[in-house]
Amino acid sequence: MNEIITIDGEDIVQARVRGESVRNIAKRFGCSIADVNDVLDRFAAMTITNKLRVHTLALELERLDELQRVFESQARGGDVQSALLVTKIIERRSVLLGLSMQPRSDPQVIEGQVQPAENSTERVRAAIDRIRGKLPKPEGE
């Protein structure tokens, strides 16, 4: 790894946080894309720990609880939008806690039975057979 990368690792991370592409960062610091990715991987390994995940989960659950407290009374009073929001909060809490899977919105492809189109060889063969008198003429001729 380049010496520049170890000295400017924080600058590389900050450039990426600002939205600069990995390719541009590599060009600006005079290193390879692999070097930049190595720095970013090391940074992620240092910052995203199980302890951070637990703290973040607790914080997000507290935020959801606070939102639910605000909107639940309105929902019980008949406010449809608040009721929908409370339902989404409950769903999100269930997903975060692993009680249910996040709803999927995968498109479904429905295939119908389609007769394969006649290819050019089959059309020529049919025309020859008609000429020889083996097949009747198609309608409209």
Rg (CA), the chain: 32
Structural contact between residues 25 and 12, judged by C-beta atoms closer than 8 angstroms: yes
* The dihedral sign for the CA sequence 81, 84, 86, 88: negative
pLDDT at residue 102, as a whole number: 62
pLDDT at residue 22, as a whole number: 92
pLDDT at residue 4, as a whole number: 44
**Domain ranges in the chain?**
3-47, 50-96
pLDDT at residue 51, as a whole number: 86
pLDDT at residue 5, as a whole number: 42
pLDDT at residue 59, as a whole number: 92
What residues in the chain have per-residue pLDDT under 70?
A: 1-8, 102-104, 109-116, 134-141
Q: How far apart are CA 103 and CA 91, in angstroms?
A: 9
